[in-house]
Amino acid sequence: MSNPSKGEPLNGLEMTPEEMRRLGYRVVDEMVKRWETLRDGPAWEGGTRKELEPLLAGGPPEAPGDPDAILDRALQDILPRAGRIDHPRFFAFIPSSPTWPAVLGETLATGFNIFQGTWLESAGPSQLELVVMDWFRDWLGFPATGGGLLTSGGSAANLVALVTAREAAGAPARPVLYLSDQGHSSVERAARIAGIPPEGIRKIPTDDGFRMRMDALAAAVEEDRTAGRDPLLICANAGATNTGAVDPLAEIGAFARERGIWFHIDGAYGGFAVLTPEGKAALEGIGTADSVTLDPHKWLFQPYETGCLMVRDTRLLESAFRILPEYLQDAALGEEQVNFADRGVQLTRGFRALKVWMSIQMLGLGAHRAAIAESIVLARDAGRRIAASPVLELLAPPSLGIVCFRFNPRAGNLDGDALEHLNLRIQEEILASGLAMMSSTRLRGAFSLRLAIMNYRSTREDVMRTLDAIESAGHRLLPEVGR
Ligand SMILES: *Cc1c(COP(=O)(O)O)cnc(C)c1O
């Protein structure tokens, strides 16, 4: 950059080093302040488009503005008007709560402007991504041939898995993919992107625990083979988004291998449970997969966007994606050096491995492991508390941090519509109170409240306080449904 102390004029896109530091320190201070006060504020804040439009309207200014005033606007009108997804009582969807070293790693990667598409342009960062991929490979129990890449998220990872499977199978004409009725929507979207028509998607029914039924899977594959279709990929859940259910991974793995079908596991949120003894037992068979989707931005406490696809045979991933155009001929540095662009969709890629590495180096793997284990325990304890309550009803066995339940007084004799109305109202009240945020889902048609306990900040008190509040709200709202 120009050196203003030597009298060189600043380019219009530059700032003085003093100004850069001052603004940078302010940004860090604001981020730390947010974390210091996170627990005291509401778990969620939003707004309608009508409210937000006038607040943020305006075209781009031609001239520079006052940076502090602009930061003030971002900090007052934009950034806080959102779910506090890392709030200790944000239990909705699949929450994420990044560690501070990970946030710093993300910031450093941006500040150092790392392009991680090719080895030529990022030797050290590429080597670090290999190191992190080796860690993940070992956690999954993949052989030495295993490897992968960090992606924008689980959706991208599922897409890369599907395309890898298709290419490895020689791009069959009538491909069919199998997932359970609890499978994630991103798998269907991947199929759509990859050109697999709706009739090539088979949703296999699940058992009482929301796990894929082996008999139904085998029957569907049989039927497709008989009809001349090409069973391509079985996608099993290792932590279904709805309930945390884990499909019978070892059995599906054995079946898939016997039939020569690619075995993919969607462990986007649940996969990192393998780091804990209990999770490892629950995910037995994960190492038999051909590919596994993982989302470090979920249960490994990383900032967005950090997803990952791991494959059993890295060569299959590279042969599915490698294309070397003339303008990248300088970037072919031989087999040893990995061009991560050859492993997926992106050429320009951010340096995602640094945050993961810094988080684990600075805080230790043990702390990450302990936080995952604690979530599992808290969900189980929440399940016990619900089962013991005369007014709450568990709708699925708690699994990998997820608890599905509803307010349903034992003596209430409420029908499905009344229960849905009541529980919707409870959800609204809890959200409006600011105490917590939870989401809802539908399990075999029944409306269910759902807690996803996945934040290293969440304590037993946070979980129990939320359940207490749900009970009180339910009692208060019961008259609305005429009881
Ligand atoms: C979150 C999730 C996805 C999608 O991952 P993104 O990171 O949101 O793209 C896929 N599958 C499961 C099971 C998930 O929980």
Residues 16-58 have pLDDT tens digits of 999 999 999 999 999 999 999 999 999 999 999 999 999 999 9
How many whole angstroms separate alpha carbon 147 and alpha carbon 321? 14
- For 226-278, the pLDDT digits (tens) are 999 999 999 999 999 999 999 999 999 999 999 999 999 999 999 999 999 99
Estimate to the nearest angstrom the gap between the alpha carbon of 146 and the chain centroid: 22
Q: Is the pLDDT of residue 198 over 90?
A: yes
What is the amino acid identity at position 307?
Answer: G
Q: How far apart are CA 334 and CA 111, in angstroms?
A: 29
What the block records as the tokens of 29 is 């201070």
- As a whole number of angstroms, the distance between CA 257 and CA 231 comes to 12
pLDDT reported for residue 336: 85
Q: Whose CA is nearest to atom 14 of ligand 1?
A: 268
Average pLDDT score over residue span 80-91:
97
What pLDDT score does 4 carry? Answer: 67
Listed in sequence order, the residues at least 6 apart from 126 whose beta carbon sits closer than 8 Å to its beta carbon are: 116, 118, 119, 337, 338, 339, 340
Nearest CA among 297, 245, 213, 249 for reference residue 140: 249
CA 259 remoteness from chain centre: 30
Please compute the mean of the pLDDT values over residues 284-297 and round it to a whole number: 98
CA–centroid distance, residue 93 to ligand 1 (Å): 10
Burial of 46 (0-12, 13-18, 19+ CB in 10 A): exposed
**18 by DSSP, 3-state: which?**
helix
User: Are the beta carbons of 71 and 26 closer than 8 angstroms?
Assistant: yes
Do residues 203 and 181 make contact, with C-beta atoms less than 8 angstroms apart? yes
Are the C-beta atoms of residues 212 and 236 closer than 8 Å to each other?
yes
In this structure, the number of other CB atoms found within 10 A of the CB of residue 428 comes to 12
Confidence of residue 482 (pLDDT cuts 50, 70, 90): confident
268 Cβ below 6 A of ligand 1: yes
Rounded to the nearest 10 degrees, how much is the dihedral formed by the CA atoms of 394, 86, 354, 159?
A: 50
In whole angstroms, give the CA distance from residue 477 to residue 469.
12
* pLDDT at residue 243, as a whole number: 97
- Tens-digit pLDDT profile for residues 318-343: 999 998 888 878 877 777 899 999 99
In the predicted model, is pLDDT for residue 412 greater than 90? no
| Closest listed residue to residue 95, CA positions, set 108, 85, 80, 110 | 85
For residue 443, give the 3-state DSSP assignment: strand
Q: How far is the CA of 473 from the centre of ligand 1 (A)?
A: 31
Beta bridge partners of 291: 264, 311
| Residue-level pLDDT at 483 | 62
Q: How far is CA 80 from CA 27, 41, 235, in A?
A: 14, 10, 37
The whole-number pLDDT of residue 328 equals: 79
Tell me which of 155, 158, 179 to substitute to probe ligand 1's pocket, judged by most ligand atoms within 8 Å of the beta carbon. 155
Say how many Å lie between the CA of residue 189 and the centre of ligand 1: 12
The identity of residue 109, as a single letter, is: A
Mutate which of 93, 188, 266 to test ligand 1's pocket (most atoms within 8 Å of Cβ)? 266
Pick from 85-99, 319-333, 370-384, 430-444: least confident: 319-333
Instruction: Check pocket membership of 186 for ligand 1, CB cut-off 6 A.
Output: yes
Give the pLDDT confidence score for residue 423 in this predicted structure: 98
Query: For tokens 């402007």, what's the residue?
Result: 113
For residue 22, the CA-to-ligand 1 centroid distance in Å is 38
Cβ of 272 closer than 6 Å to ligand 1, yes or no, is no
18: left (phi over 0), alpha (psi -120 to 50) or beta: alpha
Model confidence at 2, in pLDDT bands (50, 70, 90)? confident
Report pLDDT digits (tens) over 413-469: 899 999 999 999 999 999 999 999 999 999 999 999 999 999 999 999 999 999 999
Q: Residues of 319-350 as b/e, b for ≥16 C-beta within 10 angstroms? A: ebbeeeeeebeebeeeeeebbbbbbbeebebb
Report the chain's mean pLDDT, rounded to a whole number: 96
Is the CB of 368 within 6 Å of ligand 1? Answer: no
**For residue 403, is it left (φ>0), alpha (ψ between -120 and 50) or beta?**
beta
Q: For 169-195, write each residue's pLDDT tens digit.
A: 999 999 999 999 999 999 999 999 999
Global pTM? Answer: 0.97
pLDDT-derived band at 1, boundaries 50, 70, 90? low
> Is the CB–ligand 1 distance for residue 190 below 6 Å?
no
Mean pLDDT across the stretch 297-311?
Answer: 98
Confidence band of 314 (pLDDT split at 50, 70, 90):
very high
Which residue minimizes the CA distance to atom 5 of ligand 1?
154
206 within ligand 1 shell (Cβ under 6 A):
no
Q: Give the pLDDT of residue 222.
A: 98
Residue 352 · residue 129 · CB < 8 Å: yes
